[in-house]
Amino acid sequence: MAKQIIDDTVMENIEILAKLALTCEEREKAREKMQEMLDYIDKLNELNTEETEPLAHTFPVENVFREDVVTNGNSRDAMLANAPKSKDGQYQVPKTVQ
Digit-coded pLDDT (tens) for 78-91? 888 888 999 998 89
Q: What pLDDT is stored for residue 1 in this prediction? A: 60
Distance CA 80, CA 76 (A): 6
Q: Which domains does the chain have, with CATH numbers?
A: 8-45 (1.10.20)
Question: Confidence class of residue 9 from pLDDT cuts 50, 70 and 90?
Answer: very high
Q: What pLDDT is stored for residue 61 in this prediction? A: 77
**Mean pLDDT across the stretch 4-11?**
89
Q: What pLDDT is stored for residue 63 in this prediction? A: 79
Q: What pLDDT is stored for residue 24 in this prediction? A: 93
Each residue of 24-65: pLDDT tens digit? 999 999 999 999 999 999 999 899 988 888 887 778 778 778
What distance lies between CA 45 and its chain's CA centroid? 26
What pTM value is reported for the model? 0.50
Query: CA angle, 70 as apex, 68 and 71 as ends, to 5°?
Result: 120
